[in-house]
Amino acid sequence: MPLEIKVPSVGESITEVMIVKWLKSEGDRVETDDPVAEIETDKATLEIPSPGAGTIAEIKKKENEWADVGEVVATLEEGAGGSASKKESSKSADKGAKSEEPKEKPTQPDESPKQEASADSAQEEKVMPAAKRLLAEKNLTANEVQGTGKGGRILKEDVIRHSNTPSDSQSTPPGEEGAEGSPAGRQEEVVPMSPLRRTVAQRLVDAQSSAALLTTFNEADMSEVIALRKEYGEAFQKKHEVKLGFMSFFVKASIEALKKFPAVNAQIRDKDIVYHNYYDVGIAVSSTKGLVVPVLRNAEAMSLAEIELRIKDFGERGKANKIELKELEGGTFTISNGGVFGSLLSTPIVNPPQSGVLGLHSINDRPVAIDGQVAIRPMMYLALTYDHRIVDGREAVTFLRTIKELIEDPARILLEI
């Protein structure tokens, strides 16, 4: 009886995944725990291991299709020789054929049907079980389908592709219009929404429909932080092996502001308000799948260097899709830096069930009034989006002004005043 390859459990709240890529094809030999497919959830990309050794008999789900946790996505014939054994047997057949060459006799006309039958049977050996059933359903022969599997094997996908390929008489000549009068060059591409994108879309809609979101703005003069980075940046990097960035200053400033205004670090749970006495700060980073928000656990206990090292690590692993699920869960407050992409001003959306998100933007030299004089300073717009159900406007405005004051006088961050 074939072994079933099922979608493994990947988290308590995850019920379905997307089949991103098959690492093995029908007819391929696999060993126990060999990865056979890549699956994607809304938080990470994982692999499905083979439950045993054998040959992939049938793939039931195509790439970019959805599958439920526990669903059978492929079957495995235990102990089957697979690709390697078939290659060996074909080699043996070739050797046997060569050894009989001296006994070869002239071909007679009445032998041609036998040769055709032999060719047909050889072609049948290259047809995978799932493809064979589909050939019978569509009244096709193996000779009509081009195999793309290893050694020319005909896969189920090959039969489907052959069946969906229009004949020459059905094709539209270049330049002619389609049935509805549109030019042939006007095409559409339908791409399945990735689990991450689908979840992000749903959470954004949920946030705006279930929370009373409001955004307040301010701006910060970055002169002092820039001066600190110029003066101590080289020594900092030499000692800690990481650059002194802006984000660590904003994480520290946010924590000090959150201590003064705990409602921004709280959340609504049913009919209660839950205040947190710890500060798990989510940092939005880009990945190949989209935006993810790994969390700095107990960020209040971290130094500037520790924060920078963790953020660097998040960025590198985000690009390689190596951030773990547990690193994305939780969080009491979020910081999103759109300035790295050149954003001048934005209204970030709260990550439920959090009550606040700080948006950072690009630093630009702008004329500002200082002591009655116009001066050019490196300025950054700051944005705080908050849930008005739990955070009052006065608290939100004062919270953001506190961050501004700490950034403009960063010595206060170290002194915690």
How many CB atoms are located within 10 Å of the residue 91 CB?
A: 10
Tokens of 20: 């991103």
Helix H or strand E encompassing 78: strand 72-78
Q: Are 352 and 203 in contact (CB under 8 A)?
A: yes
Question: For residues 399 and 252, what is the distance between their CA atoms, to the nearest angstrom?
Answer: 13
Residue 17 CA neighbour count, 13 Å, CB half: 29
Q: Are 357 and 348 in contact (CB under 8 A)?
A: yes
Among 362, 413, 349, smallest CA distance to 220 is for 362
Q: Are 128 and 27 in contact (CB under 8 A)?
A: yes
- The torsion defined by the Cα of 94, 95, 97 and 101, in degrees rounded to 10, comes to 130
Among 383, 384, 386, 376, smallest CA distance to 362 is for 383
Burial class of 18 by CB neighbour count within 10 A (0 to 12, 13 to 18, 19+)? buried
Question: For residues 249 and 295, what is the distance between their CA atoms, to the nearest angstrom?
Answer: 16
- The torsion defined by the Cα of 121, 125, 130 and 135, in degrees rounded to 10, comes to -30
User: Residues with catalytic annotation?
Assistant: 388, 392
